[in-house]
Each structure stands twice: as structure tokens, then as C-alpha cells.
Structure 1
Amino acid sequence: MNKKLSLIGTGVAVGTLLLVTSAYAGVNASSGYDSYKTAIKTTVAAKSVTQAVSVTVQDNGKSLIGVNGTFKKNNDNHAVSADVTIKGGGTEQSLKVYNTDGKTVFKTGDSDTYQVIEDKEGMEHKFQTAKNDKERSGQVQGDQFNKEAENLIDALVGNLQQYVTENPAANGAKEIHLSLSGNQIPTAVNAIGSFLVKKASHDNVQGTHDKAFKTPFGTDFSALKQSLPQLSSDVAITKVDLLATVDGNSYITNQKASLTIEGKDASGLAHVVVVSVDLGLSGVNTTTPDSVDLTGKQVENVDMKQWEGMKHK
């Protein structure tokens, strides 16, 4: 499921990866970076949170993809819910997800059927055991911020601290801004970005011969997938912008980011692709994910083993 949904926003996935990479890269000497990193750790460690996400992908000024979603999670009971609407390729599709009590439930907007996946036996016990082990060892969720990965990114990207700014905002909050363009974007980041974009474009071309690009839950993203431009030459990241608002308790309350990728397709046509993400966070430590009562509902059990076998054929 996660792998398939990631293909919807190939540009989104690439953009997010590179945006985060640039934000983390080698700026650990700046107070802006320190504040941002602390805010990420604090926010990740929250027991529960609601995330409102809006993502757009434009090509030469034309809107290709629009994603709007609300995600709620509670780490204490491993409950998650999501309500997502995706527009693109001349289609609009919606999907609701509920994950709690040992099962995951999916429902698409054009169906009255609730599709259910039972979690693997013993999985809940493993989650609880891992949680108890963490508590006994004094670790918190924020410790998942891997220091070795951080050091690797620092080494790859170099020193960008002069591009990070931090300004005070109302009620003890602060705004952290990163803006890079042209030669300010490190060569290593651009090389990785160019490779990922070309790889994603190649995968899209390979997939255009498929009659359908479907998940086991009824959603069909064929048109959406094929609407993305197939960049094959002169691919480069030309602009990165990030604006994060952090409250007085070091929680990220809003984060806006945009990534501009330029390149040419196989016919030589130039493309300017802009990926924009607007993330709002609320309900920190007070969020209760949505649930669904399946009593009297039309229910279909999904065999994920069968789906895994089908998608590799």
C-alpha cells in the first residue's frame, strides 16, 4: 500500500526527500538549524498529533496533481486514521483509512464497501514489547533521529548555515526559513535529485503499458501516474524554499515547502515542475484518531498475500 501510494506523487516523494535533505544539510552551526532540528525531534516524540496536508504538483504552470488529507495518529495505542482526496489526470478519488484494534480498514469514496486487513498474529504484542523496552531503556521516540544519517547528509551537502534564518513571531513562536537557488544548491544534492527524477520518469514510462495501476482497495491511479512529465535530460533542482513555524514549546505548527525541478523530456520540451507542500499540525498530545463501526456495513476481507503475488507478475 505505502509503495503504491508513493508512486502517485513521484514528484512529491522526490521533492520531500530533497527538501528535507537540504534543510538538514550541514547547517548544524546555525541557531536556525538547531531550533528546527529540536522542533522535529519534539514533534516526532508527541504521543498524538493531527496533520493537515496539502500537496500540489505543477508543470509549466499547469496543475497536475492536488492532494489534500487529514492524518491523525496516537502512538500509545498505535491508532491511525486518514482521509485523503487526490485530484489529477482528469480524475478525483478519495480514500479513508482506519487502523486500530488489530485491523486496518479502507474505504474509497465511490464504494460502500469497507475493506479490512487483519494485522498479522502477534504484531500487537511485538509493538507493545518494543514500547516497553523503550521505556525501560529510557529512550523516547525522538531518539529515532539517526545521528549517523545526519552526519552523512552533512558530509554530502556541505555547509549551508548562512542560508538559514530564524525570526521571532507572536506568542513566543519562531519562524525558520531556508531558501536556496541556482549554485547555492549543493552539487551532491542535485546529482542525487537528478538521478531520482530520471529513475521515477523511467518507471512511469515502463508502467504506461499497464492497463491499470490499481491498489487492492479499488483506487486506480493510472491516469494520475501518467500525467507526470517524463524528464530525461538536463534535469536539475533550481530552487528550494522552506518556511517552518515553531511554537514556544518547540512543536512545529506549520511547514510550507516548495521544490522546483527543471529538465527536458525525450522530445526536447522543457519543463519547470514545482512541488509544493503545506503541512499544518495541531492536537498535539490530545488527538484521537477516527474510528469506524463495521456493524451492519458491507465488509470485504483483503488477502494481502494474494495482492503481493499479483503485483510482481
Structure 2
Amino acid sequence: MNKKWLTIGGAVGLSVAVMAATGMSAMAGASGYEAYKSALKSTHSIQSATVQSAAYIQDNGSDLASLKGQFQINFTNGNSSGNVEFSSGGTQRNLGVYRQDGQTILKPAEGDTYYVAEGGKHKHAPRPHTADPETAKQVESVIDTLVGNMKDYVNLEPNSDGSKQISLQLDHAQIPSIVNTIAPLAIKEASKHREDAGNSKPGTGLPLAELNVKNSLPELTTQIQIEQVVVKATIDSSNHIKHQEADLVISGADNTGAGHKLKIHLQADLSELNSTTPNKVDLSGKKVQKLKQVRHGESALTEQR
């Protein structure tokens, strides 16, 4: 499974006022931003974890789509297993997901067919145990530059058990100008390609064909801006991120002039660090439908056995 959830809320920093209020003078020299980066590196080095995730999208307060899932992930060899519940447009689907032996296997709760996609040349390679130090340093430097003065808006609150609470809340005026300039362009461009969303189209018989989440989103064309960013994280006493959540509020208007306020919520909870073993599915004797990648995530049935 894609592990980019680990990078949600990478912009975090120091709040001296909170540190003074807690009276934890031992932490007075460490910024929240540096504390978060340190925990992110420690978390990235784990070999396995169980992840409970949730996400939803709202438009003007109305639900557009939601997702809940639990995954068992081995970050070293790339294997994973889990269950996902999707909901969009009044339709709900449950899906079992497996990544094993270079294949991605999908099993809808309804029906007895297992859909199998070969990894091919674009499959995700297992994560190496160690990253190139120089490359990591350069990437970190770029991120530090982009984050800019957002570091100054972060709260860091140590707890008596050795854990830490990290929080960040930015309103539109506090978001760096470079982000406010680039983000609307990216959002507008993404809105143009709503037809390419999903891994299948209605009528194909493929898993989640009815759930074209991206096409249910409004196409923002003007007055696009980021209204608010809220990030919260819990770092345990072993310096691992155990909980993380983020809220992003985007406003804009569509080509009819109608206004929209989109709220995107993401969260993830990690447990059983370095002691999780993904489940494997035995396809022997099962009804299997092979999938072939066509374009932009769209899949086509190729053969059945």
C-alpha cells in the first residue's frame, strides 16, 4: 500500500508559549518542528506496523466520500493486507486488499472473485533499510525551505509519560505565499482530470466501478484558496508517530459561479510496530480475474481462470 500517509503534516515547528506553560524546561531547546522530523525519521525506519486509517471529503458541509481501513504492512518487503470500506454517492463497498508476490489482489465482500493485478515495471519496490544520507539531507533541506515560517506556528507539548503532542493550525494569512500561489494552480489542474479517477468504470464489473469519487467533487475554476490547515500528531516515548490527523479546508467557485468549501480529513493510527505480519491469500481453487493496467489507474479484465 502507498505509504505517503506517513508524510501528512510535514510542516511542524516550535511554540515557546506552550513549552513555558508546561514547565518542561528540559524540552525548551527543542523545536516542535525538529521533534516531529526526528519522530518521522524513526517511524520511517520501522519494519512493519498495523495501520488504522480514515478519511472523508465534505463540500459545503455535505459528505461526498469517506474511507475506513485497517492494514497490516511489512515495509521491508512491500507485502501488505487489509480491509477497506468506501462510501460515495450513497453507495458503499467493502474490499479486501492484499499485496504479495509482486501482485495486488482485490476481493470485494460481495461475490467470490479475486481480482489480480501484476506489479509490472511500475510496481513499488521494497523499501531499503537505509536511505542515502546525502540525498536524505538534500530532501530535508528543500522541505525546510518550503516550510518557511510555518515552523513558528507549531505547538509542542510534552506529557509526563514521555510522549509528545504536536499541533499546527494555520489560517489563510499564515500560509506561506509560495504555497498560496502554487496550490490553487495544482487544484485547478487536478479538477480537469476527474474522468480519469478510480480503477474502473461503471458497467465493467470491476471492483469499486460504481465509486468514482473524483467525479463527485466540484470542479473549482476561480477564487481558489487554502482557508485552513490543521495538523495533530502523537509521538510516543520511543519517538514513533502513533497517531496523526490533518484537516485541509479549500474554498473556490465552479464554472457556474457557485461557491464551494471543501474539507478534507485524513488520519492514521499505528500499532504493533515491528511485530505485524500481513496475511496472505491462497488463490488455489479460487475464481480469479486478472487485471491489466491501461492508463491513469484504469484497469481492464484480460482473462479468467
The TM-score bracket by the shorter chain reads 0.7 to 0.9
Deviation at residue 222 of structure 1 after TM alignment: 5.4
Residue number among 171, 189, 192 corresponding to 1:202 in the alignment: 192
Contact 1:65 1:89 in 2 (8 A): yes
Task: Report the Cα distance in structure 1 between the residues aligned to 2:111 and 2:97, rounded to whole angstroms.
Answer: 13
Q: Name the TM-score, length of structure 1 as normaliser.
A: 0.77
Q: CA deviation at 1:144?
A: 9.6
Query: Taking structure 1 as reference, are residues 310 and 195 closer, same or farther at Cα in structure 2, changes over 3 Å only?
Result: closer
Shift of residue 302, structure 1, vs aligned partner: 3.1
- Residue 145 of structure 1 and its aligned partner are, at CA, apart by 7.8
Q: How far apart, in 2, do the equivalents of 1:71 and 1:274 lie?
A: 25
Q: Answer yes or no: is 1:292 the counterpart of 2:285.
A: no
Provide the TM-score with structure 2 as the length reference.
Answer: 0.79
Q: How does 1:28-39 map to 2 (within 5 A)?
A: 31-39=31-39
Alpha-carbon separation, structure 1, partners of 2:203 and 2:81: 21
One-letter code aligned to 2:169: S
Q: Is the partner of 1:280 in helix, strand or coil?
A: strand
Report the Cα distance in structure 2 between the residues aligned to 1:86 and 1:223, rounded to whole angstroms.
11
The equivalent of 1:168 in structure 2 is 158
Match of 2:235 among 235, 239, 246: 246
Which residue in the other structure is 1:93 paired with?
A: 93
Give 3-state SS (helix, strand or coil) of 2:182's partner. helix
1:237 aligned to 226, 230, 243, which one?
Answer: 226
Q: Distance in 1 between matches of 2:281 and 2:262?
A: 38
Q: Which protein has greater RCO, CA pairs closer than 8 Å, 6+ apart?
A: 1
Provide the identity percentage: 34
Say how many residue pairs are matched.
282
Amino acid at match of 1:35: A
Q: Deviations over 1:55-82 (max 9, x none)?
A: 0111111111111111221134432113
Asked if the contact 2:6–2:40 (Cα under 8 Å) also holds between the matched residues in 1, the reply is no
Which whole-Å deviations, capped at 9, do the CAs of 1:121-164 have from their partners, x for residues lacking one?
Answer: 9x99x86xx85xx6xxxxx2596983323322333342222201
Provide Cα deviations, 1:77-125, integer angstroms capped at 9, x if missing partner. Answer: 432113111111221122222122343322122331112244559x99x
Partner Cα separation in structure 2 for residue 214 and residue 141 of structure 1: 44
Residues 228 and 249 in structure 2, CA contact (< 8 A), matched pair in contact too: yes
Residue 282 of structure 1 pairs with residue 271 of structure 2: yes
In 2, distance between residues paired with 1:82 and 1:301? Answer: 20
Q: Give the equivalent residue in structure 2 for 1:67.
A: 67
**Residue 94 (structure 2) pairs with residue 105 (structure 1):** no
The offset of 1:266, in angstroms, is 1.0
Tell me if the contact between 1:42 and 1:142 (Cα under 8 Å) persists in the aligned partners. no
Q: 2:149 aligns with which of 132, 141, 159?
A: 159
Match of 1:5 in 2: none
Q: What corresponds to 2:254 in structure 1?
A: 265
- Measure the CA separation in 2 of the matches of 1:58 and 1:76: 35
| Structure 2 segments unaligned to the other structure (5+ residues) | 14-28, 301-305
Specify every segment of 5 or more residues in structure 1 that has no aligned partner in the other structure, as ranges. Answer: 3-12, 135-139
1: distance between equivalents of 2:170 and 2:236? Answer: 24
